[in-house]
Structure 1
Amino acid sequence: MAKPRHSRRALLAWPLILAAGPAMAAARTKVITVLGDSITAGYGLPARAALPYQLQVALTRLGAPAQVRAAGVSGDTTAGGLARVDFSVRKDTDLVIVALGANDLLQGQDPRRTRANLDGIVKKLKARKIGVVLTGVMAPVEVGGGYARDFNAVFPAVARAHGVPLYANLLDGVARQPSLNQPDGIHPNARGAAIIAARLAPVVAKALATRR
């Protein structure tokens, strides 16, 4: 007795469905978590104007769409980030942007402590098989030449030690530009956040492309 035609169609379709499985899995939207402080938390800005959302927009424009999650806490230091990295970064995260250190600088913390904390954060993430992009903070010369030199050296040293990409200065092109910052002169306004996102996006897109 001949099998119904629709049954034959279903049997023929199974190899195609199975073959498409890996491709469908690969098409999953990748997840980026921004582990940071008030700048990445979007202090003083609506969510759609803040850095995480603007980065998501910038990545889409580059053809590297991803879901970008904000995990910034105002006032957080590298020590705070180390204490919360395990629960602030969800298990489905593909890549973390570690954007901490500005508050260490404002508090005049020992650069050796900042480095140890960043080392700890990166080690925890790599142990979980999560990619990392490290962003730096540049100390102004006004804080003292020796301290500024030691502090600024922390971020490239951590990036080299762990083999992770470094975006040298998160506030590049925005710091000390009144038109790109809020009245406090520290936190970027909406235009400033968009500029940071546009400059950071190519580095993040390249790192994300290596994640499988």
Structure 2
Amino acid sequence: MNCHIGRAMMFAVVFSIAPCVSEAVKAETIRIVALGASNTNSYGVSPGEGWPAKLERMLRAKGFDVRVVVSANNGDGTAAILGRVDSVVTPGTRVVVYDSGERNDIRRGVPAGVARANAAQIQARIRARGAVPIAANSLAVPPHLLQEDKSRGPHANPQGHSHVASRLLPQVVAAIGKKK
């Protein structure tokens, strides 16, 4: 009889802690990738002032356990960004906030149809890798939130990066779901 009671208690303990173990597995840090070119790379401001860092802080302030990983190179166009998707959108990446680099393509004379096709492929590849794509290049930064760089064109100033992060926040929250 003692053996039966011992087994019953063991099963009770195992089944009572199983949900806790399950919750611990779910509580992993949410990986978000910021993919793009110079504005994503915080060009012209310190990395802590760029929208990726600000977005991460905003999400953490709302109680989300997140890490925003930046994969951005100044001047990249759609082809270069498309070429990085498979290497940076690794298994477990939940969201990719991306700037497709179309503005850089336009400055270089890449045909608009080619840039649009590459941008569509960026989004499709992100989805195919199991992440939610959110386009950051559709978030226009008002002129008063830009700083002019004669050689590279306008880029967001610190307030412009705050503007972008604030506009992205509700979209990212919707994509990642509930807090831990």
**SS of equivalent to 1:45:** coil
Cα 1:55/1:107, change in 2 over 3 Å: same
Q: Show the counterpart of 1:172.
A: 141
Distance in 1 between the 2:121 and 2:146 partners?
Answer: 31
8 Å CA contact retained: 2:141, 2:156:
no
In structure 1, distance between residues paired with 2:83 and 2:60: 32
Give the Cα separation in 1 of the matches to 2:141 and 2:113: 24
Q: How far apart in 1 are the matches of 2:53 and 2:81?
A: 21
Alignment of 1:187-206 (within 5 A): 187-206=155-174
> In the alignment, what sits opposite 1:92?
92
- Secondary structure (helix, strand or coil) at the match of 2:147 reads coil
Show CA shifts across 1:6-29 (max 9, x none): x99766432222122322222222
User: Where does residue 16 of structure 2 map in the other structure?
Assistant: 16
TM-score normalised over the length of structure 1: 0.70
> 2-side partners of 1:105 and 1:208: how far apart?
32
Q: 1:116 to 1:182 in 2, by over 3 A?
A: same
Q: CA RMSD in A?
A: 2.7
Amino acid at match of 2:121: G
1:69, CA displacement in angstroms?
0.9
Which secondary structure does the structure 2 equivalent of 1:40 belong to? coil
Could you list the per-position Cα deviations for residues 81-124 of structure 1 after superposition, in whole angstroms to 9, with x for gaps in the alignment?
11121113222311111212221232232221112112222222
Contact 1:51–1:196 (CA<8 Å) still a contact in 2?
yes
- The superposition leaves residues 162-190 of structure 1 with CA deviations (integer Å, 9 ceiling, x where unpaired) of xxxxxx32x333xx21xx33352612222
Residue equivalent to 2:27: 27
Q: Which amino acid aligns with 2:58?
A: A
> For the structure 1 residues 119 and 181, does the alpha-carbon distance in structure 2 shift closer, same or farther, using more than 3 Å as the test?
closer
Q: Distance in 2 between matches of 1:91 and 1:106?
A: 34
How much does 1:33 deviate?
0.2
C-alpha distance in structure 2 between counterparts of 1:87 and 1:65, whole Å: 23
Note if contact 1:77-1:103 (Cα within 8 Å) is conserved in structure 2. yes
Secondary structure, counterpart of 2:171 in structure 1: helix
Of the two structures, which has the highest relative contact order with CA contacts closer than 8 Å and spacing of 6 or more? 2
| One-letter code aligned to 2:147 | Q
* Whole-Å separation in 2 of the counterparts to 1:115 and 1:181: 24
SS in structure 1 opposite 2:120? helix
Alignment partners' CA distance in 2, 1:13 and 1:190: 53
Letter in 1 for 2:164: I
Which AA in structure 1 matches 2:75? G
Residues 36 and 76, structure 1, Cα contact 8 Å, conserved in 2: yes
Q: What is the TM-score when the length of structure 2 is the normalising length?
A: 0.81
